[in-house]
Chains A and B, each alone.
Chain A
Amino acid sequence: MPFGYHGSYLRIDVAGGGVEHVALPEAVLRQFIGGSGLGVRLLLDEGAVHAEPLAPEAPLVLAFSPLVGSPLTTSAKFAVVSKSPLTERINDSLVSSGFAIAGKGCGCDAIVLVGRAAELSVLIIDEVDVDAGGKRTKVRLESAAKYRGATCRETEAGLKADLGAGYRVASIGPAGENSVRYATISHDGRHAGRGGSGAVLGAKNIKAIALRGTQRTAWAHPSELTALSRSLSKRSFGPATAKYRELGTATNLLTFNRFGALPTRNFQSGRFEEAANISPEQLNATRSKTRKSCMACTIGCEHIYGNGKTGVRVEYESLFALGSLCGVGDSEAVLRASERCDELGLDTISTGGTIAFAMECVERGWLDEPWLRFGSGDALMRAIDLIGSREGLGNLLAEGSRRAAHKIGNNSIAIAPQVKGLEIPGYEPRALQTMALGFAVGARGADHNRSGAYEVDFSDKVDRRHVTLDAVRHAIDTEDRAALMDSLIICKFLRGVFTDFYCETAEMLRNVTGWDVNAEELRETAKRIVSAKRQFNLLAGWTPAEDTLPERILSTPLPNDSEATLSRERLDGLVAEYHRQRGW
């Protein structure tokens, strides 16, 4: 077995069907590395493509990586991989911090959960000492009855108090318990956010996973790895990460608004007249702020703004989705809404996207909920609470905008802001057309984490509002790099510090594993992982018609920017060229 791995995954049937360590061949590890890549491979091996995502037999994978536990900055991350209950396609979400280190410390490279517990439970994974100084993994279920309905934060704090501070906890909120199709899994205030992995865990009757492990894997070249880690950490303090450190992702808001790329009122506009009110620049001027880092991270991108007695972590995607997309320009309301989503365990992008869609349906007379109006912070909060509990209108909106549109009718699917069922993040596709391609072809749907094509739009490589087929290779390159980063795993906020991404990441992997891996091999590995996601989708029923954007985007120019038009013909051409270059 190479350095950096335990060489097996822990397969747990929470219905009481047993616990086993399943060997992972070295060839599989080298081909898929860890994180998202390994998770997709395990899902394929488990036959997850044919399972209904919320059925007991549907597997949920928590995948670690060879870099977890190393001194490489930002490497304390894990991937949550499953078939999405929102899209019925592949879903992989990344989340940071100590759970990754403790989970790998339980002596496994991944945890696969199947089955459904008899009652709402906490899954506790621990290690016990055995003879000759070894460790053995011990798994048990405890009733989570007292945590039913508890927020993510309450659950995590309660379990640490009950079990001991040494445990790391990943949990779902009420939304996950209630099978909201875009419920999250939360750990340490961060979320495996997109695609509904929280609903998958909830369908297994698992409120939380608490684990504690101390087993470490050795590194092949420790002194070289330490030197590389120091160099990377030093570079992570420089200009390439200044944006995240000094302002956080929220600073995108005014930039995107300036470029007419800030989705507003359910993608009816790319400019929000109240953007300045909810910008981090305004929040900085009026509120206290603290910064926080994930474990083993030197960047410190979390900017937490005071909001009454508590602090709210503010990210661009939450500000856009709960602010401009819903037409809400009251910063107090947006922060409260973001905090409430975190408590309930809701993906802020899908929450905001689905509510904004419903607001427009009300405006058009397709939905008889007159209280639900663009711009109303109170309506936004009410809708979020209804979604979390699946009460009233919330039961419809908990299904996401695509399913809701099919029930509402009136061809409202044309204005549902989604691709493959996943709500579109805060990048107006008509103004950022390389990103539009990335959204259309994304394996998990409209997604800014698996495609970084917006980088291309904000460069001199393309004309962002009139992209040509030349943009395709750039979009593919960002998708490949993202697949590799999500499998190694390292944070994407580091991407600007690399001068030669594939060479430097190959050096990391060589020093950890001892493999003679080089840049060319990692390029192929990245493509293999992207293709594996595609294979999953094909087996799950993907058709070419899914690689597209909502009708509105392809038929309506953006107001205030007549240049920002994206025809179906142009998008179809880009998608066809993407498939051709992928060899699909």
Chain B
Amino acid sequence: MNIIACIKVVPEEQDIVVLPSQELSFDKAQWKIGQYDLNALEAGKQLAKETGGTMKVLTLGGDALSKTKIRKDILSRGADDLNVVITDKDLSDSLITAKAISAALKEMGECDLMIFGTGSSDLYAQQVGNQVGTLLDVPVVNEVNVISAQDGSIKVERVLESDVEVLELPLPAVVSVTAEINMPAIPGMRDIMSAGKKPVNELTVDLSSLAQTTEVVSDLAPVQKDRKLQIVKGDTEEMVDALLQFLNN
């Protein structure tokens, strides 16, 4: 089975600094593979291995994608090659991202299965996979927790709020996988060494005509509520009595 894992490179959350204005600063942020996209890569790697197929990776984003370090990191996780679209386009509207990815996928040629993570770990709209599948007019489902390859189709288990659905999707298809579908393997020395030799293709996709229907006003850290900060320690019974008194007031 020929697979394309679609992933996003995102700023490391721990490096995001909240400024006194409540705005966020990304100046010190390292870039990493989105947390949930690691599951997509792992799922693609396993399925490619099982079926004797291939896994390509597609990613789209800004200048951060020019760095060798992040490219190698992606390629050390089972990918045969990496396809990159570098753009300064604002990708805050998932439909714009989905259209751009669909265009890039067409450039890459045919494949059987496109795998996404449950959501990007920065914006987490959980929509790009759904929308890519719809744009390409192929079967698409989200929250897939098990994938098994069949002849010309896949059987998946999809986790809903109160039940688990077993579905059969003819290929080509698009799935978004859960964060629990697998435990992403940490790349070994050999994976890291061979990553440097794998091809990286820079794709050019014309995104100029894409217009978004939402406009970001601000990203502001939530204002901390003033808390009473009444902290007690020491004797258990005294603490419990103090709590009960606190709750009764």
A binds B: no
Interfacial residues, chain B to chain A (CB-CB below 8 A): none
Residues of A that sit less than 8 Å from B by CB: none
